[in-house]
């Protein structure tokens, strides 16, 4: 049986609302309804009584609920055990958007890792918010860096740090309101709610998860992009990129998410109390223009 169907069933049973369940799972409401219908067809029973603003579990749904929770919990535990090495190393798995690693997130982990025993296995992964939240719930990640906070009960989210965003281009003397250039977008950096209206009519010519790819495209083909200032400061100093005049500077938060049970680990809690300054030792470096 597809575990996504069971996870969706549990979300609806907790919220008693398809719309709120959809928000929790980062799905559309129609996708949630489709999954519930699939599960009902597989089991041959109705799991919910659907009345306007009143969704209740049927008797069959009540009986299924504890089994569904046990199945997902057991599956998560099995994945965690299988992932452990034969020597029973302790493993810390952390995931983040690609641009966080390029801004030097590894530097945040290094001091803590250096003081640990050699039996520690550190695993790092790259992903976007929906994928990272799913991996936290599946217990294949311990920590995740998110660009927006999660609404999932099983996950604790706290502010992590802020990073400044600067609009840059290849040509000097360009003004924000007059540029008729293409736009390069780094996925997750600037959500639609904060996207300046002046840029909404510009053509997006590159959508990437990598700061390095975005910068290379600007250097080779021109255009403009909102990028973290620490990643482009050295390019600006060397005259390879330039600030767009009149463009608003922005500051974006990052959030640290972890499963609630991870907080009980004193050593991991110590890591969570340390600060990270994005770009302090970023991997993105100036390079010669092609």
Element (H, E) at 206: strand 204-208
State how far the Cα of 187 lies from the Cα of 127, in Å rounded to an integer: 11
Instruction: Match domain 162-251 to its CATH number in 3.90.1640.20, 3.90.180.10, 3.40.190.10, 3.90.850.10.
Output: 3.40.190.10
Same fold, 90-161+253-272 and 162-251: yes
Residues 6+ apart with CB under 8 A from 237: none
C-alpha–C-alpha distance, residues 31 and 33, integer Å = 5
Q: What are 83-106's pLDDT values in tens digits?
A: 654 444 567 889 999 999 999 998
| Tens-digit pLDDT profile for residues 171-197 | 898 888 776 578 898 888 876 556 666
Residue spans per domain, the chain: 3-81, 90-161+253-272, 162-251
Query: Which of the four CATH numbers 1.10.10.60, 1.10.10.10, 3.40.50.280, 1.10.357.10 does domain 3-81 have?
Result: 1.10.10.10
| Helical residues (DSSP H) of the chain, grouped into ranges | 3-15, 18-25, 29-43, 59-83, 98-102, 105-114, 129-137, 211-221, 229-237, 266-272
> Following CA atoms 259, 263, 268, 270 in sequence, which dihedral angle do they give, to the nearest 10 degrees?
140
pLDDT, tens only, 103-122: 999 888 888 777 765 566 78
> Helix 18-25 vs helix 3-15: angle between axes, to the nearest 10 degrees?
130
In sequence order, the β-bridge partners of residue 162 are 253
Q: How is residue 169 written in tokens?
A: 């281009």
Residues 218 and 284: beta-carbon distance below 8 Å: no
pLDDT tens string 30-60: 999 999 999 999 999 999 998 777 789 999 9
Per this entry, what is the length of the chain? Answer: 290
For the whole model, what pTM was predicted?
A: 0.63
CATH architecture of 90-161+253-272: 3-Layer(aba) Sandwich (3.40)
């Amino acid at each position: 049986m597809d575990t996504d169907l069971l996870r969706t069933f549990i979300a609806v049973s907790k919220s008693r609302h398809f719309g709120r369940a959809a928000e929790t799972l980062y799905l559309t409401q129609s996708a949630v309804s489709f999954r519930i219908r699939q599960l009902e067809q597989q089991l041959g029973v109705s799991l919910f009584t659907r009345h306007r603003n009143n969704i209740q579990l049927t008797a069959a749904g009540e009986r299924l609920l504890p089994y569904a929770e046990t199945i997902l919990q057991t599956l998560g535990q099995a994945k965690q055990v299988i992932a452990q090495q034969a020597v029973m190393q302790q493993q810390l798995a952390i995931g983040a958007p690609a641009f966080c690693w390029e801004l030097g997130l590894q530097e945040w982990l290094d001091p803590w890792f250096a003081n640990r025993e050699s039996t520690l296995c550190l695993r790092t992964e790259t992903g976007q918010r929906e994928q990272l939240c799913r991996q936290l719930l599946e217990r294949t990640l311990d920590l995740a860096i998110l660009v927006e906070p999660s609404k999932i009960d099983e996950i604790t989210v706290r502010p992590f740090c802020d990073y400044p965003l600067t609009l840059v281009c290849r040509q000097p003397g360009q003004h924000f309101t007059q540029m008729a250039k293409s736009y390069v977008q780094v996925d997750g950096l600037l959500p639609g709610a904060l996207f300046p209206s002046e840029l909404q009519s510009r053509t997006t010519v590159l959508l990437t998860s990598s700061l390095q790819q975005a910068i290379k495209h600007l250097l080779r083909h021109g255009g403009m992009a909102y990028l973290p200032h620490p990643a482009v400061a050295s390019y600006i100093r060397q005259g390879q990129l330039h600030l767009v005049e009149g463009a608003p500077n922005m500051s974006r938060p990052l959030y640290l998410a972890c499963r609630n049970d991870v907080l009980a680990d004193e050593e991991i809690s110590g890591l969570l109390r340390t600060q990270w300054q994005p770009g302090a030792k970023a991997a993105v470096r100036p390079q010669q223009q092609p």
